Amino acid sequence: MGTYQEKLSILTEMIAFARVDHALKDSEYQFLLGVATNLGVDKDTFDGLLNEKSSKVILKSQGERIVQFHRLLLLMNIDQEQHKKEIRTLHNIGLAMGLPPSAISQVLEVMHKYPDKVVPVDVLINIFKAHYN
């Protein structure tokens, strides 16, 4: 995984996405804290990001962008609610990352086929592979 600044940027983007519906639910906070821990960011630093954004860092590799898209997809579904605004925002984030629009749309469609709308990693990867070939 990238630099510490990239990790903070990833978390900042995720926090902003979680707040698209103007609230940060406890389940979302716990998920984000777990991601922070996994990235090696301590709780105090993470909590600081809730009040002050980190600078935006563009993820360089396509793989890192797909992983971030998957994190955001999991975050959107953590509360088992999907709002049109969240789906539209996630789609736009994927486009801004340079991910193929058709792959983004396909992932957002197939998520409804899985328990808790959690798209398995291998399915997600296969969707993106198909759109890059």
CATH code for the domain in which residue 72 is found: 1.10.3680
Confidence of residue 1 (pLDDT cuts 50, 70, 90): low
Q: What is the pLDDT of residue 29?
A: 96
Structure tokens at 3: 């630099």
Structural domain harbouring 70: 4-132
Confidence of residue 79 (pLDDT cuts 50, 70, 90): confident
- In sequence order, which residues have a C-beta less than 8 Å from that of residue 95 and are 6 or more positions away? 101, 104
- For the entire predicted model, the pTM comes to 0.88
For 34-54, write each residue's pLDDT tens digit: 999 999 999 999 999 999 888
Structure tokens at 107: 């992932």
Q: What is the pLDDT of residue 132?
A: 78
The Cα 120–Cα 82 span in angstroms is: 18
| Average pLDDT, integer, range 84-88 | 91
Question: Count of domains in the chain?
Answer: 1
